[in-house]
Amino acid sequence: MPLIQRLLRDVPQLRMIATSRDYPEIRDRMEEMRVVSMPLEAQAVDSDIRIYVLTQLAEDRMLRRLDNSTKKLIEDTIVKKADAMLTKQKLIRAALLALPDTLDEMYVRILTAILERDRSDAFDLLQWISYARRPLTLLELSETTMIHWSIEAAGEGGVDATDRNDTSNPQKQVHAYEGATVRLAHFSVQEFLESARILTSNAKPFHLDRDQGHQALTHSCLLYIQYYIDSPEKCVNRSDLEEFPLLEYTCSNWYHHANSQKTEEATARIVSFLTSEHSRHVWLCVHQPDNFNIFIPNFAESVGFGSALYYASYMGLESVVRKLLQTGADVTASQGGSHDFPLQAAAAAGHQGTVQILIDNGADINAQDCFSRNALIDAARNGHAEVVSLLLGHRAD
């Protein structure tokens, strides 16, 4: 969505067409961009499915051999029930006639077929696949199986790498496919997993909650980063991306997952992480939110790293910013980073709520960085109109 918004803003003559399921989150974001919406009728979609199926039946070498009655059965059943295609006539007939009547029933059947002993791991993987900010590779996903924690355990947990060299370990088994990515087969899968409908089915243990999912990924990312920080095998250079396959994702995305976290426990974990100078510096050697560079080669070059308040402000972590201010963080001092001041960092990143918090706590609204830029200039340069309006309302110049 941010990419589409930037394209429409920066290239006004551009015309785009996008198709999607009528999902509230997508619809709301599209309406914010004032797009012209055109709902598709179910009959039109059925017609498209029928055309596609007929084309496959006519062009596929194996399917062309089927008799006309079997082809007709395939055509009618797929259009009605939305999926399934095999290549042997007897199996085709049996499979088609045994298809669940709805997608919900199909998803329940698939989920309940997972062995009891594997369900906890399957649930964790579904959370990663559903809420990761980009499709994860098989190697990255296999690495997540080493992370152990639960909400019930009040934030305890860790990374168990003791079986990493075991040939039965997932990391070893997926090596040949390590570049392949994993995503849900269809948008309706996540819709079902998050719905109330799954709660009345036998697949209830697989119900996903968006907030809890992002909470799980936030803490899992921080656990993995801490595992890297504590590892004697790290080199703090690009070679670590191979030794620690989940490092790039966790360092670059934990704070995006954290943006939806409001609990005191989540805030305390993040404050503890950011206020540990060693932990913060190792993380920043891998990834700096306000800089596109990956891996600063050594600590000698980390002198420009910002403070905990600076990065919490840049990342828009409002509860963390409040906590740091309550514990005495200086809102007015220059604190390093690409924007020098917390207010300027928050404005540059477009975090209106964080900007307001910093202003309310005495931030100098016209403080300038080493390039003579201030919060208003950075907000305007990056197209954050709401932040510009807020700053002007407080007499920024």
Q: Give the least confident one: 102-111, 120-129, 299-308, 338-347.
A: 299-308
Count Cβ atoms below 10 Å from residue 29 Cβ, excluding itself.
15
Q: Which CATH number fits domain 264-397: 3.40.1110.10, 3.30.1360.20, 1.25.40.20, 3.40.718.10?
A: 1.25.40.20
Please say whether the beta carbons of 394 and 358 come within 8 A.
Answer: no
Those residues whose C-beta lies under 8 Å from the C-beta of residue 325, and which sit 6 or more positions away, are: 309, 331, 357, 361
What DSSP designation does 135 have? Answer: P
Q: Is 43 exposed, middle or buried (0-12, 13-18, 19+ CB in 10 A)?
A: exposed
- Of the pLDDT bands very low, low, confident and very high (cuts 50, 70, 90), residue 7 is confident
- Does the pLDDT value for residue 39 go beyond 80? no
Q: 241-250, 261-270, 319-328: which range is least confident on average? A: 261-270
What pLDDT sits at residue 78?
75
What does the pLDDT look like over 184-227, one tens digit per residue?
A: 988 899 999 999 999 999 999 999 999 999 999 999 999 999 99
**Mean pLDDT along residues 290-314:** 72
Q: Tell me the backbone φ, ψ of residue 181, rounded to 5 degrees.
A: -105, 160
Kindly provide the b/e burial profile for residues 161-195, where b requires at least 16 CB atoms within 10 angstroms of the residue's own CB: beeeeeeebbbeebeeeeeeebeeeeebbbbbbee
The answer to whether 86 touches 94, Cβ cutoff 8 Å, is no
| pLDDT over 50 at 83, yes or no | no
Lowest mean pLDDT among 152-156, 195-199, 224-228, 250-254: 152-156
pTM of the prediction? 0.75
Question: What would the mean pLDDT of 39-58 be, rounded to a whole number?
Answer: 77
Indicate the range of 218-232, 253-267, 305-319 predicted with least confidence: 253-267
